[in-house]
Amino acid sequence: MGQKTALICGISGQDGAYLAQFLLNKGYLVCGTSRDAQMSSFQNLVRLGIREQVKVESMALNDFRSVLQILNKIEPDEVYNLAGQSSVGLSFQLPVETLESIATGTLNLLEAIRFTGAPIKFYNAGSSECFGDIGAVPADELTPFRPRSPYAVAKSAAFWEVANYREAYGIFACSGILFNHESPLRPRRFVTQKIVTAACKIAQGASHQLQLGNVRIKRDWGWAPEYVQAMYLMLQQSQADDYVIATGESYSLEAFVIETFKCLGLNWQDYVSSDQNLFRPTDISYSCGNPSKAAKQLGWKAHYKMPEVVKMMVDNALKLE
């Protein structure tokens, strides 16, 4: 076997950058795409010190011709689709862009793979948001989808496209249904990074009030660098399948806030208030995943739970200040 080539769509995001780092360490030739590779800073690749090792190409996922050209040019063994509008909150403001970038983008990749006829293995970034409100039972691969946001609707459509191409055309295509996973590479518009950044500023003397939406929501938070390993493992199996990737433990947003301020020796109640304007039109009150299939079939399990994730994010934020 020669050197494998991986194409990562959405390489400039949190998961794309960590996956690129992981695959480079495995000896892969890594190529990444961005809508405009000449103009993109690829800041996350720079932060991880791997920008020079990654080849980048411009590709518009909503343009079939562009996708096909890149597949023919790169001739990848594996394609990881991590691209598309990634914010649940923003999807209420940009529903059309969200649906096109996720559902149409995924369809173009699958159709281009089918068109080339090459034995490409395809990974699609699914989302726990597809499940909607699951009551109090952790979701597994058989839990029905009840999407509650334009983002979740788009991710649900992409999931079924993948299943359809796998069954109809025998393409090796998988979806990883990933629950929330965080890291220092998270953009600041994400609530976890917003909390960590604000708390660190307060600890360093800034007079800052942190305003949050609903702090009673519960989420299953993991560590992003571990989650990209699961993506890789899915494409190394003899058969393509879909997997829930999660820690199996759920914590409230309030618990995340308490843990963050505790790391810095602060009482969160002195600095945090709830703002009704930040509540979403529809939100999921409880989210938790059952990763037992991934443990059994992939040998994957999460080693870091929410308290460790918070500590690592805080430590990193303090180093950057």
Which DSSP state fits 10?
A: T
Set 28, 123, 151, 304: catalytic member: 151
Q: Most distant CA pair in the chain: distance in Å?
A: 60
The length of the chain in residues reads 321
CB 145 within 8 A of CB 249: no
Concerning whether 78 is annotated as a catalytic residue, the answer is no
CB 66 within 8 A of CB 45: no
Concerning whether 40 is annotated as a catalytic residue, the answer is no
The backbone region for 117, taken as left when phi is positive above 0, alpha when psi lies in -120 to 50, beta otherwise, is left
Concerning whether 18 is annotated as a catalytic residue, the answer is no
The DSSP bridge partners found for residue 286 are 218
Q: How far is CA 125 from the centre of its chain?
A: 7
Residue 289 token pair: 């995943």
- Which residues have C-beta within 8 Å of that of residue 29, sequence separation ≥ 6? 3, 4, 5, 6, 55
Set 78, 129, 182, 226: catalytic member: 129
Q: Which of 78, 64, 67, 66 is nearest to 3 (CA)?
A: 78
Set 12, 127, 149, 287: catalytic member: 127
CB 313 within 8 A of CB 232: no
What is the DSSP track for 173-237?
EEEEEE--EE-TTS-TTSHHHHHHHHHHHHHTT----EEES-TT-EE--EEHHHHHHHHHHHTTS
The CA distance from 198 to 202, in Å, is 6
What amino acid positions are annotated as catalytic residues? 127, 129, 151
